[in-house]
Structure 1
Amino acid sequence: MSGEFEGYERQYCQLSANLSKACIAAAPLDGEQKKQKISEIKEGIEEAEALIRKMDLEARSLQPDLKTLLLAKVREYKADLNIIKREVKKIVSGDLNPSVRDELLESNTTNVMMASADHRERLMVSTERLNKSGDRIKDSRRTMLETEEFGVSILQDLHSQRQSLLHTHDSLHGVDNNISRSKKILSNMSIRMNRNKCILSTIGVVLIVVIILILYFKLS
């Protein structure tokens, strides 16, 4: 994202310097040559405005700290373009007398030299800042990737633990079923034992009664 802004900025700085030179070249011209030159300058101004709009949109799509920095640069470029527009208006306003024309030429030459130096300095500062921002973004991405890998590792561990818990739950469910079966078997065995005890008790009582009767009849 910041690389696109840097590209627009480089194009604008080059175009701005060319427009300033074109203003110097148009000042001494007359007639059709002057009109043609002014027409070319106006086309360049429109292109410069389009680049500024692109820079503005690009800056607004970035992170807040970088956005504030780049929007300040956009305002500087708008002010720079307004200076060029005022120069064009001076040229278009009418025929200039020699002294005013010489003054305009001298002023424009000075402005071009200062603008070129200022543009170079701004490009160097901007490039350095963008490089630092790029490094910060790379560090952020690296941290994000490390965090993502750590998160994936945690999710894998949680999945493994979930599988272990599900396996344990299935095992416990099987044990519970076995315990339920064992309870039923023991219950059935207890019922049978009680039944057998009743039968044996009955048989014992019957035998005792028989023995008593036998003894009674023998003794009597």
Structure 2
Amino acid sequence: MSSEKFEDIEDDFRLSLDSLRKLVEDKIPKLSGEQRRSAARDAERQAEDCQHLLGDMDGELQHAPPSYRTQMGNKYRSYKRDFTRLRQSLKQLTSAAPGGAGGPAYSRPNEVNHLEHEQRSQLLQGTNALERASQSVARSNQISAETDQIGVEILGELDGQREQLLNARDRVIETDQEMSRSRKLIQGLARRVLTNKLIMIIIILLELAILGGVCYWKFH
């Protein structure tokens, strides 16, 4: 979330700004000669750090949620004012030699300045690459966790469906058994009906034979 990253950058900026303030307001004014020049170079490096972090905060501010943007914007402008004031103070300190004499307080060779700038750029690039890699790993872990959760849910659904299929199979078996018993019962009833019909036919035939015998005996 942009507000969380803004807070992380804000913490780093505060540390760099405090270091710059101590150099500009406390340390450099009390030094002279090579010590003053060395402290001034340290202050320049801190100022570059602050400048870079302000740029990062401005980038996060552009993508911040609307509910946080006003508060974050007020902080950003306040930090920028403090940094601008310290940067101007640093320029004033380095524009004159200690003790009030005119001329530059120090002179850094262009090659050293260029080398330090490249090293710092490489360090910042490495930091950004590491941060992007960390974010990528975090996203991968989140996707993996979501995939595991989906897999667990699918297994749960499959287990429930398996239970339903087993219950349906048991009901089919029970129904088949009931139908078998019903068929046997119907077959038994059919045999009884057939037996009763045969018995009735035999009885009728016997009665006809008796009736014929009686008639024959009576008329002869």
**TM score, norm. by length of structure 2:** 0.49
**TM score, norm. by length of structure 1:** 0.49
